[in-house]
Structure 1
Amino acid sequence: MSKTVEFFFDLGSPASYLAYTQLPGICRESGATLVYRPMLLGAVFQATGNASPAMIPAKGRYMLRDLARHAERYGVPMRFNPHFPLNTLGLMRLLVAVQLHQPERFEAALQALYQAIWVDGLNLGEPARVAEVLGQAGFDAEALLAQCAELAVKEALKASSEEAVARGVFGAPSTFVEGELYFGQDRLDFVREALRR
C-alpha cells in the first residue's frame, strides 16, 4: 500500500515554496500520494507563540542566504519577494476554494501563485494583480475570488490550521509521513527515507 505525504504549507513561506518544488518528485520516486494541506501560518504562529525567523535581524539575514543556497542546490528559480512579509489570508482561502470547487486544477493554481510570489516577486497583496495571475493561468478570477468569501472555504482553512497545531505544527513547511512530523524544507531527506521504509 502506498504511503501518504501530507504537506502543510502557506504561500507566504519561502521555505514552503522550496519544499513544494521537491516534494512531487520525492513522492513520484516512492509511489507515495502527496496531499496538499493549506494552512494559515499567521494563525499557527499565534497559537504556538512562534514567529518568522525574519523578525530576528541576524537570523533573517542568514535565512535569505540559506534559502538561496537551497534553491541553487535544487536547481530551481527563486527571488525573495520584495513585498515580504505577505498577508496570505486571501490567497490561502483562494487555494482552499480551488480545492473545494475545482480540485483537478489545484496544482495549476498553486504553481501560478508560487511562480508569481517566489519567482516573479509580484505583490499579491493587490487584488488586481491576483486576478491577473489567475486569469493568465486560465481561471475565472472573478468567480474564484467570490468563492473565497464562502463560509465553507473560511471554515475549511480554519479547520486545517487548527488541525495542524493540534498535531504539533509550529511553522511551515510541515510534512507528515505516517504520523511523523518533519519540519522545514531542509529535512526532506528524512521524508525520503521515511517513504523508503
Structure 2
Amino acid sequence: MKHITFHLDFISPYAYLAFEQLPQALEGLSYSVAYRPVLLGALLKHHGQLGPAEIPAKRAWTYRHVLWLGQANGIAMELPASHPYNPLPHLRLALATSTDGDINRHVAETIFRDVWQGGGEAGDAARLAALAARLRLQRDAGGEEVKARLKANTDEAIARGVFGVPTCEVDGHQFWGFDGLAMLRDYLRGNTWFDGPDWEGAPRRPALLRSSNR
C-alpha cells in the first residue's frame, strides 16, 4: 500500500476540487492518505510567486476555470462571497483537531465544504464559530502549539520543494494540481516511466536566461 501526503490550504479552489475528486481518481488502487494543512501564502512568498487571485486577468480565468471543473466533474461548488480571504482561522481549526500535523478526511471535508459550498463569507466570525462547534477540537485553535504546527508543516513542505497546493507526495514524487491526479494514478499503477530519464532529467534541463532589460 502506498502512502500519500496531500498538502492543502482551504483557500485554494483547486485543492478543494482535488480533495473531492481524489477517491474517484484513485478508485481500485490501494493507498492511504495524510491530509496536511500548509499556508499557501508562505509557499508562494518563498518561491517568489503571486497567487492566481493576485493577478487580475488570471483571477478571472481561475474562477471561471474552477467553476467549470466543478460542473464538469459533478462537484458541488460556489465561490465564497469574498476571495481571497484569510485562511489562517480555517487552517488552525483543522490542526486543532489533531495531535500531529495531519488531519483526517472528515475534518478536511467539513472545512472545505463550509468554504466552497453555499457562497457565504468564509471569514465571517459567526460561521467560524459554528464550524468550530462542528469539529472535535483537541487543542486551542488560537494557541501557540497549533500556530507552531502550521509553521512547521509549511516549512517542511518548502524544504521538500512543494510550491503550491494541492500537492500529493508519494515516494518522494510530487504531483501538483487538480490535473495532477491522473498522473498520480498512473504512478500508483506502477508505470515505469516514472523511473526513466524524462522524470529524472526534467529538473536538470538548462535554461536560456533572458535579461529583464532587453
The Cα shift of 1:29 comes to 2.4
Amino acid at match of 2:28: E
Q: Deviations over 1:50-87 (max 9, x none)?
A: 12112222222221221122112221111121211010
Amino acid at match of 1:164: A
Which residue of structure 1 aligns with residue 162 of structure 2?
169
Amino acid at match of 1:157: L
The Cα shift of 1:28 comes to 5.0
Which residue of structure 2 aligns with residue 80 of structure 1?
79
Q: Deviations over 1:25-47 (max 9, x none)?
A: 44452111111111011111121
Amino acid at match of 1:20: F
Asked if 2 retains the 8 angstrom alpha-carbon contact of 1:112 and 1:134, the reply is no
Q: Deviations over 1:120-169 (max 9, x none)?
A: 1222312221111343x3x36xxx49711232211111111011111111
Is 2:59 aligned against 1:60?
yes
SS of 1:37's partner is strand
SS of 1:98's partner is coil
Which residue of structure 2 aligns with residue 128 of structure 1?
126
Which residue of structure 2 aligns with residue 7 of structure 1?
6
Which residue of structure 2 aligns with residue 119 of structure 1?
117
**Which is greater in Rg?**
2
SS of 2:175's partner is strand
- Structure 1 stretches of 4+ moved >6 Å: none
TM-score, normalising length: structure 1:
0.87
5+ residue gaps, structure 1: none
Asked if 2 retains the 8 angstrom alpha-carbon contact of 1:78 and 1:118, the reply is yes
- For 2:164 and 2:117, locate their aligned partners in 1 and report how far apart those are by CA, in whole Å: 22
Amino acid at match of 2:175: Y
TM-score, normalising length: structure 2:
0.81
Which residue of structure 2 aligns with residue 51 of structure 1?
50
Is 2:172 aligned against 1:179?
yes
Amino acid at match of 1:33: S
Asked if 1 retains the 8 angstrom alpha-carbon contact of 2:139 and 2:146, the reply is no
SS of 1:186's partner is helix
The Cα shift of 1:24 comes to 3.1
Asked if 1 retains the 8 angstrom alpha-carbon contact of 2:97 and 2:139, the reply is no
More helix by share: 1
Equivalent pairs: percent with the same residue?
Answer: 33
- For 2:98 and 2:27, locate their aligned partners in 1 and report how far apart those are by CA, in whole Å: 21
- For 1:178 and 1:58, locate their aligned partners in 2 and report how far apart those are by CA, in whole Å: 36
* Residues matched between the structures, number: 189
RMSD: 2.0
